Chain A
Amino acid sequence: MATTSGGEVTIRDLSKSFTLSGRPLAVLRALNLDIRSGECLVIVGASGSGKTTLLRILAGLEAADSGGVAIDGKPVHGVGAERAVIFQEPRLLPWLTVLGNVAFGLEVRGVPKAEAEDKARFYTALVGLAEFSDAYPRQLSGGMAQRVGIARALTVQPEILLLDEPLGALDAMTKIGMQEELARIWSEENVTMVMVTHDLEEAIYLADRVLILPREKGGTARLVEVELPRPRDRSESRFVRYREELLREFGLH
């Protein structure tokens, strides 16, 4: 069940600022970026650098002050069916079963229940939760709940998958397993993936390109192309060198 190609994102002169105790605080300043169809772009940056804001603008949950975003040439206003968001928290509906939660995205779009559940069953199996279809969210571990959230997003077969620190709340072991899972899903589903993280290793493991957002005023965003074969090996010397390079960007190495 691969999606059609598409999912090209164009960001032009994008600016956004918030008012913090009466004073405007710019988090994004005239950002320009092209995200290629089917690529995996990972956004990193110190806290306050606006990475989550950028993702929420891409999702259509927040509006830019100036400039804008276009997807496949069409300007973005609000949420859209070609995008799906995976949040840091699973955000499952506690009164629905795993299958009900996975089917939720399709059902609210008016897809008939039987059809939605068929698709939901496929993606529930894809994230390895087939046996838990009838379980309720309170019976799941954190990692399993997040898989349900991922399956729900995949079920609507978006062109663009937006992930806001999706593994941030998981323990280290679960996290590595889930990174492998995301890499596998991304390669199987032919979807454009834009992900925010504060974990540099995660960024190098998953990204075609890493976007580093500056924190200080007047700094410029930087793109790092990760030219490593997949599946990637975390202990390989080139992987470690990418890590050092990113750490240097943050002045930590």
Chain B
Amino acid sequence: MSLQHIEQRVTIPAHADRTSLGADFPRLANRTVVRFLSRYGILIAFLAIWQVSSRAGWVNAAVLPPIDTIVIALWNGLAGGTLLGDIAISLQRAGLAFAAAVAVAIPLGLFMGQVRAVETALDPILQVFRQTSALALYPVFILLLGLGEASKVFVIFWATLFPLLLNTISGVKQVDPKLLEMARVYGAARLTVFRRVVLPGAVPSIFVGLRLSATTALLLLIASEMIGANKGIGFQVMNAQYNFQIPLMFAAIVILAGLGLIANQALVSLQRRLCRWSDPID
């Protein structure tokens, strides 16, 4: 057996010897700018067009005020403390409802996913509840619980419960039966199988549910605060509109968007931390 020697010619580019930091810096900075623009370019363009068309009078500035006045309204609201109280009460409502949904849906979902009979018995009613809009039920909750905090928290809880519950159930059911059999072969007790195989296997799906629920919680928060509230971000959106404080209205909307982004980002980083094993890239 003989090996053929393959001659390989490597051409070194002419500028390769200029590797000093001074020469590299503009290129490196350039790459960062390109990456930033490819990600945020359209968002920046959107805001710029808004700003310009509002200032130039292409759109009615009373309805779509320029970005800078919105920023000023946001700053005044936060620094003056009027919006801080709204944020606090809104976070309390959404947080309480979300925490209650987590406390109910995850244990119940883990149980329902494990016990076929329970799942079969509860599935039809769950499907009916899930398909009934929580907003349509809000008047019912108001009749039952009054127009105070209880009905607001409950309608958010109701709407956040189902995405989390159904994703937890499907997470448990999707655990590979071959892994369960493997654990059984090693003599793992039922509880051990649950703790060591079922639970970690269901975590990614539970996180899908958590993220859906967090989004839903903010959505329902606003809807519930638009009816019979005198504080809260959702109330502030409606109230500012009634009083024609349009920059303040947009400031409240910006806060909402910010809360949504923060909640999602928090859950994404928590998931990264817990599910390092499933990350496709290190």
Contacts and interface: CB of A to CB of B under 8 A. Distances in A.
14 contacts: A81-B187, A85-B185, A91-B182, A93-B200, A95-B201, A95-B275, A95-B278, A108-B183, A108-B187, A108-B188, A108-B196, A109-B188, A136-B277, A156-B186
Contacts of A108: 183, 186-189, 192-193, 196
Contacts of A83: 185
Report whether over half of chain B's contact residues are helix, strand or loop; otherwise say mixed.
helix
Interface of B: 176, 178-179, 181-189, 192-193, 196-197, 200-201, 203, 275-278, 280
B186 A104 contact: yes
Contacts of B187: 79-81, 108-109
Interface in A76-109: 79-81, 83-85, 87, 89, 91, 93-96, 104-105, 107-109
Given A79-B185, A108-B186, A91 B192 contact: no
B278 A94 contact: yes
Given A89-B178, A108-B189, 11 more contacts: A85-B185, A91-B176, A93-B197, A93-B200, A95-B203, A104-B183, A107-B196, A108-B186, A108-B188, A108-B196, A138-B277
A91, A93, A95, A107: which has the most chain B beta carbons within 10 Å? A95
B185 A95 contact: no
Given A81-B187, A94-B278, A105-B186, A61 B200 contact: no
A138 to B, nearest CB: 7
A127 B227 CA distance: 67
A249 B273 CA distance: 56
Contacts of A95: 200-201, 203, 275, 277-278
B106 to A, nearest CB: 18
Contacts of B200: 93, 95
Contacts of A80: 187
A243 B131 CA distance: 64
B184 A79 contact: yes
Contact of A87 (B178, B201, B277): B178
Contact of B179 (A93, A109, A138): A93
10 nearest A-B residue pairs (beta carbon):
A108-B188, A105-B186, A91-B182, A95-B277, A95-B200, A85-B185, A136-B277, A108-B192, A108-B186, A94-B277
